[in-house]
Amino acid sequence: FLGATLAAGAAVGLAACSSGAPPVVRRPAQRPLAIPPLALAGRDAAGRRVVELTAAPGESAFLDGPTTPTWGYGGLPFGGPTIRARRGEEVVVRVTNRLPETTTTHWHGMTLPARMDGGPHQPIAPGETWEASWRVDQPAATLWYHPHPHGATERHVHRGLAGLILVDDDVRVDLPGRYGVDDVPVVLTDRSFAPDGSFDTAHRNAVGLLGDTVLVNGTVAPYLDVRTTRVRLRVLNASPARSYRVGAGAPVTLVGTDGGLLPSPRVVPDVLLTPGERAEIVVECAPGRRTVLRSLPDELGAVNGIAIAAGGHDTLDLLELRPADRLEPSPAVPAVLSREAPLDEGAALRTRRFVLSSNRINGLAMDMGRVDEVVEAGATEIWELANRHTLPHNIHVHDARLQVLSPGERAWKDTVAVPPGRTVRLLVRVGPYADPEVPYMIHCHMLRHEDDGMMLQFLVVGPGQRPAPVIGHAHG
């Protein structure tokens, strides 16, 4: 059922030692799910969609007790507004930094020029505004944005900086599509709270920061009133370290992954999401019958010789769906969702190998002044990720569209789980933008691993172009 792409993910373990993992706090669903507002967008004279985004500190009331100092985008104290853009459109995002320290804003999953990527080479100093602009040219998908300052990504994301980007295209697919009504963002993060209300950063293990409380779109113990027989949930794992195996007590229909829609829907028992991954699922609702979206224990974690700590054996309630007594009928999920041609293994120009060990890739720690790989613009290649470590890792490749090499239908990915002892073979298609000076990143998306050096840099060059990295020129 679940093609090997996700099967590989399903085997991810979730952590090594149980020390540092707080027991999950259970709370009955009691707050309406917050829906991130859509970012206000203007048009400039050239017809480009212009979004202003400010990153600033705020105060959030997650629980009934004291408030929590948090960081957010776009006037929200935590999280960020959802940016929507159409394929073919030019977008301009102006990010103003009102935080007390330098940050960056990365457009996770977007194919775009390296200087617009918002990685560690595009810092935004306090008080500064950084303008990113590019042409959106990729199929409809659920992407996201978050900080990426080298060595501080976990801290900035944990403070609350993260938002969704929805790419729309002109392909008509009859899926639920009313934002916040039957097409609902589900941004998963986990946090623990200190007695004074602040986020607790003490509960960390080798995988990273783990919370005892799940926040969905920043809401603790949320419920969603449902008015239709089907809801499409756009689930993003925005957690620093925790993985979730998302199920609804009955099979769900998986319609999309990181990079867009599947060729056709797949009915699956659950979907495993490691940090950074997305899944679009359609859940069937019966009138008046409540359904709880849960993260389930991962027995496969034990098979891999790893236990528990990152949520591997906890059952977490994520979101209660509360259908009304009368529901508006939703159309059936179409049998064909996408006709996009899969990547062609025969077109792969070469194979690269990446060995994952403790906070290292190919034995190397991230060095902003070193270029690790040089790839031709638009190339398709095979990248082999071998996890030789006892911990789970995952790998996110900037700018690229990925497919796990496996029999059957292939899902579009940009972040893939690499369980301990496993090798995952990917088809990688890098974007069309050559820049011999500014690199893209490939890294583990467990943010503490990334911050501790589990990241390499690659340049994308044009035919015959020589890499000429500008080292230390932070603004690229």
Of the pair 158, 443, the CB lying nearest ligand C2O is at: 443
Q: Which residues contact 59 (CB under 8 A, 6 or more apart)?
A: 67, 68, 69, 70, 77
Which partner from the list ligand C2O, Cu ion, none does 396 bind, CB cut-off 5 to 8 Å by kind? ligand C2O
Of the pair 51, 366, the CB lying nearest ligand C2O is at: 366
DSSP bridge partners of 261: 256
CB of 164 to ligand C2O, least distance (A): 12
CB of 454 to Cu ion, least distance (A): 5
Q: How far apart are the first and last CA of the chain?
A: 45
Q: Does 404 bind Cu ion (CB under 5 A)?
A: no
209's tokens: 């920061």
Q: Of the ranges 286-294, 386-394, 401-409, 420-428, which one interacts with Cu ion (CB under 5 A)? A: 386-394
CB of 250 to ligand C2O, least distance (A): 31
Quick one: DSSP state of residue 413?
Answer: B
Q: Of the ranges 71-79, 361-369, 429-437, 445-453, which one interacts with Cu ion (CB under 5 A)? A: 445-453
The Cα–Cα gap between 116 and 111 comes to 10
Evaluate whether 416 touches 404 at the Cβ level (below 8 Å): yes
Size of the site for Cu ion (CB under 5 A): 4
Q: Of the ranges 111-119, 219-227, 228-236, 447-455, which one interacts with Cu ion (CB under 5 A)? A: 447-455
Q: Based on C-alpha coordinates, what's the Rg of the chain? A: 21
Of the pair 148, 410, the CB lying nearest ligand C2O is at: 148
CB of 223 to Cu ion, least distance (A): 33
Alpha-carbon distance values, 186 to 163, 222, 235, 280 (Å): 11, 10, 5, 10
Contact with Cu ion (CB under 5 A) among 203, 313, 396, 449: 449
The Cα–Cα gap between 40 and 24 comes to 36
Which partner from the list ligand C2O, Cu ion, none does 413 bind, CB cut-off 5 to 8 Å by kind? none
CB of 310 to Cu ion, least distance (A): 11
Q: Output b/e per residue, 40-58; b: 16+ Cβ within 10 A.
A: ebeeeeeebbbbbbbbbeb
What phi-psi label fits residue 187: left (phi over 0), alpha (psi between -120 and 50 degrees) or beta? Answer: beta
CB of 74 to ligand C2O, least distance (A): 18
Evaluate whether 104 touches 123 at the Cβ level (below 8 Å): yes
Closest CA to 127 of 98, 170, 160: 98
Sign of the CA dihedral with 198 first, then 199, 201, and 204 last: positive
The Cα–Cα gap between 418 and 387 comes to 6
CB of 106 to ligand C2O, least distance (A): 5
Which partner from the list ligand C2O, Cu ion, none does 276 bind, CB cut-off 5 to 8 Å by kind? ligand C2O
Which partner from the list ligand C2O, Cu ion, none does 216 bind, CB cut-off 5 to 8 Å by kind? none
Of the pair 15, 444, the CB lying nearest ligand C2O is at: 444
Q: Does 393 bind Cu ion (CB under 5 A)?
A: yes
CB of 414 to ligand C2O, least distance (A): 8
CB of 442 to ligand C2O, least distance (A): 8
Contact with Cu ion (CB under 5 A) among 34, 157, 187, 444: 444
Place of tokens 């027995």: 299
Of the pair 67, 423, the CB lying nearest Cu ion is at: 423
Which partner from the list Cu ion, ligand C2O, none does 393 bind, CB cut-off 5 to 8 Å by kind? Cu ion
With 0-12 CB in 10 A as exposed, 13-18 as middle and 19+ as buried, what is 350? exposed
Closest CA to 455 of 353, 368, 350: 368
Of the pair 323, 439, the CB lying nearest ligand C2O is at: 439
Which partner from the list ligand C2O, Cu ion, none does 108 bind, CB cut-off 5 to 8 Å by kind? ligand C2O
Which partner from the list Cu ion, ligand C2O, none does 379 bind, CB cut-off 5 to 8 Å by kind? none
Q: Of the ranges 73-81, 257-265, 330-338, 443-451, which one interacts with Cu ion (CB under 5 A)? A: 443-451
What phi-psi label fits residue 45: left (phi over 0), alpha (psi between -120 and 50 degrees) or beta? Answer: alpha
Helices (H), 257-356: 299-303
Instruction: Using CB under 6 A, list all residues that contact ligand C2O.
Output: 106, 108, 146, 148, 276, 396, 398, 441, 443, 445
CB of 425 to ligand C2O, least distance (A): 21
Residues 230-289 that bind Cu ion (CB under 5 A): none
CB of 402 to ligand C2O, least distance (A): 13
Contact with Cu ion (CB under 5 A) among 16, 92, 446, 456: 446
Closest CA to 425 of 397, 405, 400, 395: 405
Contacts with Cu ion by CB under 5 A lie at 393, 444, 446, 449
